[in-house]
Amino acid sequence: MIKPHGSDELMPKIVSTEEEKVELLNSANSMKKMTVNSAAAANLVMLGAGYFTPLEGFMGKSEVISVANDMKLENGLFWPTPVVNLTDKEVEFKEGDSVALIDPNVDGEEIIAIQEIKKIETLDSNEIDNIVEKVYGTKDKSHPGVQTFYDQGNILVSGDVKVLNFSYFEKDFGETFRTAMQIRSSIESKGWKNVVAFQTRNPMHRAHEELCRMAGERVDADGILIHMLLGKLKPGDIPADVRDSAIRTMVDHYFPKDYVMITGYGFDMLYAGPREALLHAVFRQNCGCSYLIVGRDHAGVGDFYGAFDAQDIFDNIPADALEIKIFKADHTAYSKKLNKVVMMRDVDDHTKDDFVLLSGTKVREMLSKGESLPKEFARPEVAEVLMKHYMKEK
């Protein structure tokens, strides 16, 4: 199986024994506390679950700037996005302290991790602007990821972490949330060697379904990993539980048995387009996948990125930066000529009138009005799941 990124084995930061967890929680009684923001809590889940191998914790200032500018950790290893614990509040602890980090997404002041404080540094406005510009490609605060980053504050708290739990993800998504260790173990137990990963924050329509099928066939995959984001999204996106139900319905009806693994990961969407596509590749390599499907406007939002910028960025990183490969997907649409979903680059004899094209906005409008989706766009069983959600929301 493909090796994890920058390591011979996964390096999860989750505390491995109940005894150590109890000991750390007892020690936390005498520690200073820090309530982290949702983005930092999501980073902790990813660190704990092995997805961010080989990172040991939160980055310091010099490393954040190196990652933003050059996509490299201080040791030279490729890494595309900062992994930070930022705050806008004055901290009550000092460098060298152990601090209990409080989960903002769980009631009851629950401790999600213990952090060894390496440095407490301040980012000035020019440094923050530069980081945002490099990572997101814009400083426009109408971009939801940009706004979130600016809102986190300018005090950077770095240091190694020991993660105690996976926040709300195991409880709320017990059937779907999986660590990188669990996914690797499942792939190994199935005897799969060549796995294609599909990233999604949306329900999967006909085009997504066929894209997975095409990619699997063209790279001769043993199986497909459908890996859905379970964390915070922007207003208007479909909730994770509805997406989960829609995807399971599609797989149950339209894929061969034991060919697709349906899993999810606990992270807040960055909407960072090309840079986030690179991060998606890193942690899918850590999951044991050989390929990641990168399609039109992967991890994008609005009109901030070109349709295929997230593919092009892979051509501009060092050849040895990643072991995982990408499957470059074109626009997909339903061909009325061929009565199936196709990648538009594969059918040069088609005109625009030969395709059925529906925007996400149009689909949401139809669902909110209780109108049936055309069979060319969504499987009827999937459309029914989505319709129930939209009618309940009215």
* Consecutive H or E run containing 58: strand 57-58
Q: Which residues pair with 342 in a beta bridge?
A: 333
Determine the 3-state secondary structure of 116 from DSSP. strand
* Tokens describing residue 375: 């069979």
Q: Which residues pair with 262 in a beta bridge?
A: 226
Catalytic residue chosen out of the listed positions 184, 201, 275, 379:
201
Are residues 117 and 60 in contact, defined by beta-carbon separation less than 8 angstroms? no
Active site (annotated) includes residue 202: yes
* Tokens describing residue 156: 């950077």
Are residues 373 and 390 in contact, defined by beta-carbon separation less than 8 angstroms? no
Active site (annotated) includes residue 201: yes
* Tokens describing residue 364: 């949401």
Catalytic residue chosen out of the listed positions 202, 213, 296, 364:
202
Eight-state DSSP code of residue 3:
P
**Counts of helices then strands in the chain (DSSP H, E):** 13, 15
What are the φ and ψ backbone dihedral angles of 155, each rounded to 5 degrees?
Answer: -95, 120
The 10 Å Cβ neighbour count of residue 348 is 6
Are residues 138 and 302 in contact, defined by beta-carbon separation less than 8 angstroms? no
Q: Which residues pair with 199 in a beta bridge?
A: 227
Rounded distance between C-alpha atoms, residue 161 and residue 164, angstroms: 10
Catalytic residues: 201-202
